[in-house]
Homo-oligomer: A and B are copies of this chain.
Amino acid sequence: MKKVKIALLGLGNVGRGVWNILKENEEEIMKRSGFKVEVAKVLVRDINKPRGVEVPDGIVTTDFNEILNDDSIKIVVEVMGGIEPAREYMLKSMSRKKQIVTANKMLLATNGDELYKKADEEGVMFNYEASVAGGIPIIQAINESLTGNKIKELYGIVNGTTNFILSKMELENGKFDDVLKLAQEMGYAEADPTSDIEGYDAQYKLAILASLAFGTKIDVSKVYREGITKITDVDMEYAKSFGMVIKLLAIAKDVDGQLELRVHPTMIPETHPLANVYDSFNAVFIKGNAVGDLMFYGRGAGDLPTGSAVVADIISIVRTNIDVDNPISVVKNNLWNKEIMDVANVESKYYIRATVQDRPGVLGEVSAVFGNYEVSMHSVIQKGEIKNKSKVALVLVTHMTTEEKVRKALDELSKLNAVESIENLIRIEEFE
């Protein structure tokens, strides 16, 4: 049996998952890959901290140089997270011709380019399946299985916390604040949930996915981002009445060579495969010009699912590169130089919910404003309120129009006396 030595940088949640998988599934891995994968070193910050896994004496170290200077260690697995020192350790490891596996989405979304370039220069493999959508093999799918395709569109449910919250709101009629609290109690949401519920986490992941799918550099700050905090049970009810559900989607489209990149709550048809992605599950839906519609679904987080992706990355290096003099990097970045479209030009259908005065002529005034900006209506629902007889709920669904037109119309609308408030605007995606 051939053997390959690796080092883990970090022994937190994901590191423990990797350790446990390599141990528990050792026989499968050996038989299927033809190699025994041996963890020779594990880098930690505090050697005395209890870790919940039994690691033999002499393996754990606090000194990165022990790993860097050990030429028998062929693969460095970065599962420590954060920007530094993860970035420094990976760059140094590549200089010593060590192959890299990482799960670090934040580093990839912000400094990915430097790392990809270094890997290319050094001729080492740089695998990062675990950085997006946990156990779902979406990176390999885009980089390898879909090589024969022009990818046209990509839609992801890539944040488990927000999908858990929206699922509870949809299936159990929960209110946002209550469900967020539940998610925090269950460990699905952090004490400061901003990164998840405001869509930052999804924004990072979309930047990574889109850069691969479209072979171009992505400036993460140019990805339009909107969280789920404004979604109410009222919106959920309207969505249901239209045969739709609300999901936080990360959307990337190639529109005549320009890229549309956005993260926001989206109404989608209840019969679409993404609609049945519930709880903390993730999914990525892709349209390719050859393969057509394709979707990948699975666990987006957790020690074992994420560990599963890390282990797959390790084995992919072991299989294709360890015995080979000139390893082949299958990841090609920055092949094209695509522009990111201004969000004002993005086209969509919109659901708009407003509270207006209940008097003759209001619907006419509202219609006139939308007419001024060439926004035409697919449907209009007006519902009187029981508690307050002077106000009515007005729900509008537009035909396809641009973000710019809708925003201008809403701006003018909010100035009308007849309009008490604009409660929400949710984009609609019908995947046509």
A contacts, CB < 8 Å to B: 17, 21-22, 24-25, 28-29, 31-34, 129, 135-137, 140-141, 143-150, 171, 215, 271-273, 275-278, 281, 283, 288-299, 302, 304-305, 307-309, 311-312, 314-316, 319-320, 323-324, 326, 328, 330, 332, 335-336
Q: Would A292 and B297 count as touching, CB distance under 8 A?
A: no
Q: Which residues of B contact A304 (CB under 8 A)?
A: 289-292
- A302 and B292 in contact (CB under 8 A), knowing A21-B148, A148-B21, A276-B276? yes
Q: Are B292 and A295 in contact (CB under 8 A)?
A: no
* Contact assessment for B32 and A316 in the assembled complex, using a CB-CB cutoff below 8 Å: no
Q: Are B148 and A28 touching (Cβ within 8 A)? A: yes
Q: How long is the Cα–Cα vector from A149 to B311 in the complex, in angstroms?
A: 9
**A127 smallest CB distance to B (angstroms):** 11
Q: Is the interface of A mostly helix, strand, loop or mixed?
A: mixed
Contact B271 A276 (CB under 8 A): yes
What is the distance, in angstroms, from A313's C-beta to the closest C-beta of chain B? 9
A25-B290, A290-B25, A302-B292 known; A271 and B281 CB under 8 Å? no
Residue from A31, A283, A295, A335 having most chain B Cβ neighbours under 10 A: A295
Note all chain B residues with C-beta closer than 8 A to A328: 319-320, 323
Q: Which residues of B contact A290 (CB under 8 A)?
A: 17, 21, 24-25, 135, 304-305, 307-308, 311
State the Cβ distance, A263 to closest chain B Cβ, in Å: 22
> What's the Cα separation between A335 and B32 when bound, in Å?
8
| A34 to B297 CA separation, bound complex (whole angstroms) | 30
Complex A-B, nearest 7 residue pairs according to Cβ-Cβ distance, in ascending order: A148-B311, A137-B145, A135-B291, A295-B297, A290-B308, A291-B308, A294-B298
Bound: A409/B141 CA distance, A:
47
Closest CB in chain B relative to A27 CB, distance in Å: 9
Q: Chain B residues near A308 (CB, 8 Å)?
A: 146, 148-149, 288, 290-291
**A328's closest neighbor in chain B, by CB?**
B319
By a CB distance below 8 angstroms, the chain B residues around A171 are 271
Q: Is B273 a contact partner of A297 (Cβ separation < 8 A)?
A: yes
Distance of A178 from chain B, by nearest CB (Å): 21
Min distance, Cβ A28 to any Cβ of chain B, angstroms: 6
Q: Are B335 and A289 in contact (CB under 8 A)?
A: no
User: Knowing that A28-B149, A295-B295, A324-B324 are A-B contacts, what are 17 other residue pairs whose CB atoms are under 8 Å apart, sorted by A's residue number?
Assistant: A25-B290, A31-B336, A32-B335, A135-B292, A144-B312, A147-B311, A147-B312, A275-B276, A281-B293, A290-B304, A291-B298, A291-B304, A291-B308, A292-B302, A293-B298, A294-B296, A295-B297
Q: When A31-B335, A273-B277 are in contact, do A136 and B25 touch as well, CB less than 8 Å? A: no
When the two chains form the complex, which single residue of B32, B271, B316, B336 contacts A278, counting CB atoms closer than 8 Å? B271
Write out the residue numbers on chain B whose beta carbons fall within 8 Å of the beta carbon of A276: 271-273, 275-276
A33 proximity list for chain B (CB < 8 A): 147
